Amino acid sequence: MNKDRPAENETGATGTDFMHGLAIDAVIFGFHDHQLKVLLMRYNKTGVVALPGGFIQKKENLNEAANRIVSERTGLEDIYLEQFYVFGDHARSDPEPMKDILTANNIKHDENHWLLQRFISIGYYALVDFTKVVPKPDTIFDNCAWYDLTSVPQLMQDHNVIIQKALISLRNDLDSKLIAFNLMQEEFTLGDLQILYETILDKKLLRPAFQRKMLSLGILERVAKKWTGAAHKAPYLYRFSKNI
């Protein structure tokens, strides 16, 4: 399979290169400086807003497709991705929004166009530093931008539900899958780590309880004191253990 295929092939009448009936929707969370955002796309000439997504090439592994889709939208490589849910309710197969998108972009179609058929979507989430991302819209999108989680508009199909499900999964995975590892500097204070947790969980945490919990997990190694000019007030620096 030619990985440099034109993106327009995805809107072709037959979708020859792709698995039919299966899609990937990516919830790309961006974190930085006490802020948690989500990356969204707006289709040309319609105002329809949706999650970044795409389709699986016939000779492509599922995780390879997810990494390709997220890399195309963010410009980043080696992003941690977690598959979290499969969305297959019949109600999500409403073809009308896609009909409007195809029409607005002058793409010929009839009722049998492969993009108008029922799709089951495999959800992935990613967590990145949004200051390192250069959002890249595809050919049928006019915008690719970060939105605060508190101001997400009404999205295409069930994409609002997908975001909420992804956020629940992200919060549940913070400890068990060490998601924070992907955003922290090599060395950090427990205060830095607590800020990340509080932002993702959207709540304040008691400092002593949080520190006891993190230290009890056995995933952190103490490195040294952080120099602040007052040694008795300097917090310890930590890093994630190389044994995890």
CATH of the domain at 195: 1.10.10.10
Mean pLDDT rounded to a whole number for the chain:
88
* pLDDT for the residue 5: 44
**Do 174 and 189 lie in a common domain?**
no
Euclidean distance between CA atoms 24 and 3, whole angstroms = 17
For residue 2, being part of any structural domain is answered with no
| In contact, 32 and 192? CB cutoff 8 Å | no
The enclosing domain of 118 has a CATH number of 3.90.79.10
For residue 192, being part of any structural domain is answered with yes
For residue 73, being part of any structural domain is answered with yes
β-bridge partners, 148: 37
% of the chain with per-residue pLDDT over 90: 61
* pLDDT for the residue 8: 45
**Do 33 and 143 lie in a common domain?**
yes
* pLDDT for the residue 231: 55
Q: Tens of pLDDT along 137-175? A: 877 888 899 999 999 999 999 999 999 999 999 999 988
Q: Tens of pLDDT along 185-235? A: 888 999 999 999 999 999 999 999 999 999 998 889 999 776 665 555 668
For residue 130, being part of any structural domain is answered with yes
Secondary structure E strands in 115-175 = 120-129, 141-148
Among 92, 94, 97, which Cα is nearest to 140's?
A: 97
Euclidean distance between CA atoms 187 and 179, whole angstroms = 16
Segments in the chain forming alpha helices (H): 62-74, 96-104, 159-176, 190-201, 207-216
β-bridge partners, 145: 40
For residue 132, being part of any structural domain is answered with yes
The tokens for 169 are 């999964």
Angle formed by the axes of helices 190-201 and 207-216, to 10°? 100
- Tell me if residue 119 falls in helix, strand or coil: coil
* Residues of the domain holding 223: 185-240
| In contact, 227 and 234? CB cutoff 8 Å | yes
For residue 128, being part of any structural domain is answered with yes
**Do 122 and 221 lie in a common domain?**
no
**Do 160 and 204 lie in a common domain?**
no
Among 44, 64, 80, 77, which Cα is nearest to 181's?
A: 80
For residue 1, being part of any structural domain is answered with no
